[in-house]
Structure 1
Amino acid sequence: MQARLDEKPFDDSHDRMILDALAAGGTELAFQPILRSGPRQRIGFFEGLARLRLEQDEVLMPGAFLPVIEQAGRGPQLDRYVLRHALGTLEDRPRLRVSINVGLQTMTDPGWINLLQREVADRPHLTDRLIVEMTELAVADPDITVPFTRTVRALGVTVVLDDFGAGHTAFRQFRDLALDGVKIDGFFSRGIENDADNRCLIKALVDIARHFEMFTVAEFVETPEQAQCLTDLGVDFLQGHLFAPARQQPDWITTNIAQVAM
C-alpha cells in the first residue's frame, strides 16, 4: 500500500462527514503505476488507492479517513466500493492489471467475497488481472487469512502480502498462505543506497520470496539511486514518486502499459 508519509487523520469533528460521504458512495480510486525493475522499466500493473470525496468536493487521502472508517467498523463497506471500481476499470481497460487493498475487517466479512463471486460469475476474464493486497498485520491470525487467501486465489485472483518485513509474519506461514507476491515495507527503501544493513535485509527478503516462488515489489522509491540499488538486489517491481504519483485520472491512452508475467 503506497501512501504519503505525511498523511494524518482529521480531528473528530470530521467523523460524521467522512461516514456520510462513504455512505453516499463518495469512494474513488487513484492509480499509481508499478514498474518492472531493470533497464526497460515497463509498467506491470497499477495500484488502485482509495480516495473519499466529501459533499463540498474536497478529496481526502487515506490517512485522513481510514482511521475513522475502520473505527466505525465500515472497512468492508469501503473495500466493496473499491472492488467495484477496480472491476469496472478492468472491464473498460482490457490490457490493465490493478491491485487493491483489503483490511482485516474485510477478511472476516463474507460480503466482500460474495460480491467478488457475483461480479466475476459472468466475467471470469477479469480475475486474472485483479491483484489483492493484504496488510502483513492480517497474517497474524492464519485462521482468518488462510481461508480468505485460498478462496480468492481459487477464483484466479493474485494475492500479495503488503508491508513484508514489518515484523508480523512468521516465515512458516508462507507455505500455508500460498501467496503470489510480497510488497517489501517502505521503511527499507529509504536511503537504502547508503544503508548496508537494509541492503542485507532486502536481499534476505528477496531470497525468501524467490524460494516460495513469489514476486517482490519495493514501494516508496523516490530517487534513481534507490531504484538502481533495489534492482541490483533482485527486487522485481518498483513503486514510488520517482516514477509517478497516484492519479485519479491517469492518461491511460499514452501510458506504456505492458502485461508483465508474475
Structure 2
Amino acid sequence: MSKVPDRFLGYAFCVGDVLLELDMDFHIISADGAIKNTLGAVNREQSFLDLLTESGRGLIESSVKMLTGANRLGPFVISVGQEGLAKTEFAVFLAKLPTAEDRIYMVLSKPYRLGKSDSKNAPAQKTEDKKREFFNRLEGLFEGNPDAAENMLVTVLEASAGQQLDDEKRLDIERYLQSFSVGGAHATQIADDKFAVVHDKTTPKKEAADIAAELARATGVTLKGATIDAAEAKLSETDSMRALIFSLQSFASGNEGFAVDQIQKNCSTLIGETTERVRAFREVLDEGRFSLVFQPIVDLKKATTHHFEALTRFELPPIIKTQWEMIRFAEDIGLIDEFDYAVVNLAIAKIRKMLKKGGSPGIAVNLSGRSLSNQGFIFELMSLLRGNKDLKQYLSLEITESAKIHDLDLLSEILDEIRGIGFKVYLDDFGAGAAGFQYLKKLKVDALKIDGAYIKDALTSKEDRAFLRSMVTLCKDLEIVTVGEWVETQEHANLLREMGVDYGQGYFFGKPSPNFLVAPTAAAS
C-alpha cells in the first residue's frame, strides 16, 4: 500500500484513529494509523464497504455522491469491523481533493475524541437541540454549493392525526430516515410528530410518498410528507437557505400556512415570499432606513429621569406590516445579529453626537439572546465595546429573548465579559415567556426589568402583587436593581415605589420619542 505523507497523517491524527484512501469503487488503497486495533488485517483488494453493516454501506455510498472536492461531510457514526467479528463504532469524516477526484479520503475517530457518545450509550437529545444541529448542518451542506442543491431533496413528514408516538417510535422513525439521508447526518425529529430529511435525488426512496410508505411498513406509523427540490428552492443562495429554515421552523411550530399539504403545493411560493422578506429586511438595514426613539426610565424615589431605552422604528417595507413583526422575523430568520450590531453602532453614534453638544443621557440598547449565541456577533460586539470603553457610563445593554435561551452557561460568560469591560447589563421582560428564575441563578446582571404583564393588573390582582413582591425581594437579596414596565398611571407608580421597585417605565412617564424628553413627573419634582 502507498504511504500517505507525514504532514497529512499528522493533520488527520489530531482528531482521528485511522486515515484511509479509497478508490471510487471503495477499494482500500492505503490505510494508516491504528489499523490492526480497529480494522483488523486489510488488503488492497478489499472493499471498505465489506467492513460495514448494511446501513453503514448505504451511508457511505450516498455520502460519496455528495463529495465535490470543495466540501467535506461528517462526522456521522458507523460500525466498522471484519466479517464475523464484533464491529466498533467510529465517527467518520469524508472528503475528496480537487487534485485527486478519483480518490476518497476518510478519517475514522473514536466518538469520545469528538465529545460524542457511541449510539448505544448516547443520552437522549432534546428535540430543540436536534433541530438546531440539523439546521446548522443544512447550512453547511448547501450554502455556496450549487452542486449539492442540484442533487438534493428536502422532505418533511408528519404523523397522521390521532396516532400516538412514544419515544421509541420517534427514534425508530429518526433512525430509518438517517439510514438514507446524506451522510447519515441530515435527518431529525423537529417536533413531537414531525421529521425532516435531506436525501439524494438518485436514492430509490426519493419521493415523500415512498418514504412515508416505507416508514409505515417499518414502524407501523402512518405519515404524510412533502418534498422540496433544493435546486428549485435555490438553496445554495444564503437568503434562500434562511427562507427554507424559516419554513421548516414554521412547519415544526404548526404555524398557519405551513402544513404538509401546503408545503407540497406552495413550496416555491412559501420560500420565495420568505426570501423577499429577507431581501426587504436587508435593504432596510443596508440603507439605514431605521431610527431610534427614546423612552424615559424614571427613578421612583427621586422622581427624576435616570436613563432612556432606545427603541427601533423602521421604515417598514410593504411585505412586513408591524414593527414587532419586523423584529420577530429577524430573530426567526437568523438576521437579528446584523440588526442588533447596527443598532448598537447607531446608539454609540448618537451618544458621541450628544457629548459634542455638551452632554448625553444614559441609553439602554436591546440585544437579542439569539445574537449572543452567535460567535461572530460576540467577537464583533466585544471589539466594539472595547473600542468605546469611554462610553461605559452612558451605554447599557438589555438582553431580550422571545424564545428560550439554550446555553445559559455560555451567555453567563459573555455577560461577565461585557460587565468586565465596564458596561451595565439588564435582563429584559423578567417573568415573561421562557424567562424564569433559573436565569437569575445562572446570569450575573446589574438590573432586571419586570415584565409589564405583572404590573398592568397588579392594582386589582392579589396574585400579581404577590409575584411582584417575590421578584422584588429576590432582587434585593441578590443586589440587583429592578425596573417596572408598563407603568400607565400614578397608582401604578405609587404601588411599585411602595414595593421597593427602583425604576419605572411606561406611558405615564412618557411615550417613545425621537428626542430625549424628560418625564413630566421628573420635570414637576
Q: TM-score of the superposition, structure 2-length normalised?
A: 0.43
Matched, 1:143 2:375: no
* Superposition map of 1:127-166 within 5 A: 127-135=392-400, 137=403, 139-166=405-432
1:138 Cα deviation after fit:
5.2
Aligned to 1:4: none
Q: Which whole-Å deviations, capped at 9, do the CAs of 1:177-212 have from their partners, x for residues lacking one? A: 211110001101112112221111111100111111
CA contact (8 A) 2:292 2:312 kept: yes
CA contact (8 A) 2:430 2:436 kept: no
CA contact (8 A) 1:138 1:145 kept: no
Q: Structure 1: state its 5+ residue gaps.
A: 1-11, 258-262
Matched, 1:84 2:345: yes
The alignment-based identity, stated in percent, is 27
1:175 Cα deviation after fit:
4.6
Aligned to 1:260: none
Matched, 1:229 2:495: yes
CA contact (8 A) 1:27 1:81 kept: no
1:36 Cα deviation after fit:
0.5
1:68 Cα deviation after fit:
2.1
Matched, 1:24 2:24: no
Tell me: CA distance 1:195–1:140, structure 2 relative to 1, closer, same or farther (3 Å).
farther
1:134 Cα deviation after fit:
1.2
Aligned to 1:42: 304
My pick for the range that moved more, 124-133 or 213-222, is 124-133
1:105 Cα deviation after fit:
2.3
* Superposition map of 1:247-258 within 5 A: 247-251=513-517
Q: Per chain length, whose mean CA-contact separation is higher, i.e. which structure has more relative contact order (CA < 8 Å, sep 6+)?
A: 1
1:69 Cα deviation after fit:
1.6
* Superposition map of 1:68-83 within 5 A: 68-83=329-344
Tell me: CA distance 1:167–1:78, structure 2 relative to 1, closer, same or farther (3 Å).
closer
Provide the rounded CA distance (Å) in 2 between the counterparts of 1:25 and 1:235. Answer: 37
Find the residue that maps to 2:292 and give its secondary structure.
strand
Find the residue that maps to 1:194 and give its secondary structure.
coil
Find the residue that maps to 1:161 and give its secondary structure.
strand
Aligned to 1:100: 365
Dislocated runs of 4+, deviation >6 Å: 254-257
AA aligned opposite 1:83: V
CA contact (8 A) 2:428 2:448 kept: yes
Provide the rounded CA distance (Å) in 1 between the counterparts of 2:431 and 2:382. Answer: 31
My pick for the range that moved more, 108-117 or 240-249, is 108-117
Q: Which whole-Å deviations, capped at 9, do the CAs of 1:24-77 have from their partners, x for residues lacking one? A: 222321110000003x41011100111212479xx9863131122222211001
Find the residue that maps to 1:44 and give its secondary structure.
strand
CA contact (8 A) 1:140 1:169 kept: no
CA contact (8 A) 1:18 1:68 kept: no
Provide the rounded CA distance (Å) in 1 between the counterparts of 2:431 and 2:366. Answer: 18
Find the residue that maps to 2:459 and give its secondary structure.
helix
AA aligned opposite 1:201: F
Provide the rounded CA distance (Å) in 1 between the counterparts of 2:332 and 2:317. Answer: 21
May I ask how many residue pairs the two structures share in their alignment? Answer: 244
Q: TM-score of the superposition, structure 1-length normalised?
A: 0.81
AA aligned opposite 1:68: F
Provide the rounded CA distance (Å) in 1 between the counterparts of 2:447 and 2:399. Answer: 11
Provide the rounded CA distance (Å) in 2 between the counterparts of 1:111 and 1:83. Answer: 15
Tell me: CA distance 1:41–1:111, structure 2 relative to 1, closer, same or farther (3 Å).
farther
1:226 Cα deviation after fit:
0.9
1:104 Cα deviation after fit:
2.3
Aligned to 2:123: none
CA contact (8 A) 2:364 2:395 kept: yes
> RMSD over aligned Cα, in angstroms?
3.0
Aligned to 2:182: none
My pick for the range that moved more, 76-85 or 25-34, is 25-34
AA aligned opposite 2:300: S
Q: Which whole-Å deviations, capped at 9, do the CAs of 1:121-160 have from their partners, x for residues lacking one? A: 4542202322111126555531331122112111111111
* Superposition map of 1:104-119 within 5 A: 104-119=369-384
